[in-house]
């Protein structure tokens, strides 16, 4: 996988203000796979990651959860077998429950689409 390419998450409104700040933003592709899929690091906060779990969820989480390969995080979407995070269908953690946040949208740069295998 080549470097380059960006995923933009925007529109998160549920959960706390810091949770929305962590979820919304630009995530850059890093040159390594994580659980067999692309891995992204937040551009303006290097401690926030967009990653896939072993259970095929896409998650926005802090470095500690990424390093532990846990399912914890702030925002979640079922990823099925996609190499990229889904455009919609995101949920956020609110008081221990996953609540749909219909405002969350994902946009992938064209550079990213051509850099992934397959």
User: Can you give the pTM of this predicted structure?
Assistant: 0.85
Give the count of domains, the chain.
1
Q: What is the pLDDT along the chain (118 residues), one digit of tens a residue?
A: 344 688 888 888 776 656 677 788 899 999 899 998 889 999 999 999 999 998 889 999 999 999 999 999 989 999 767 788 888 898 988 888 888 888 888 888 765 554 444 4
- CA dist 5 → 42, 45, 67, 97, 103 (Å): 12, 17, 23, 32, 23
Look at residue 16 in the predicted model and tell me its pLDDT: 63
Q: Say how far apart CA 16 and CA 22 lie, in whole Å.
A: 10
DSSP 3-state percent helix, strand, coil across the chain (nearest 5): 15, 40, 45
Alpha-carbon dihedral sign for residues 14, 92, 62, 32: negative
Does residue 45 form part of some domain? Answer: yes
Domain-located, residue 61: yes
Q: Report if residue 74 sits inside a domain.
A: yes
Residue 23 lies in a domain: yes
pLDDT at 28: 92
Domain assignment present for 49:
yes
Q: What three-state secondary structure class fits 103? A: coil
Structural domain span for residue 77: 6-115
């Amino acid at each position: 996988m080549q470097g380059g390419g960006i995923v933009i998450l925007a529109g998160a409104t549920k959960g706390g203000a810091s949770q929305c700040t962590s979820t919304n933003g630009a995530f850059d592709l890093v040159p390594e796979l994580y659980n067999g899929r692309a891995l992204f690091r937040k551009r303006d906060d290097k401690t926030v990651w967009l990653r896939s779990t072993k259970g095929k969820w896409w998650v926005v989480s802090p470095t500690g959860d990424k390093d532990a390969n846990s399912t914890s995080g702030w925002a979640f979407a079922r990823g099925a077998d996609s190499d990229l995070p889904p455009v919609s269908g995101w949920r956020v953690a609110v008081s221990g429950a996953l609540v749909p946040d219909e405002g969350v949208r994902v946009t992938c740069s064209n550079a990213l689409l051509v850099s992934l295998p397959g």
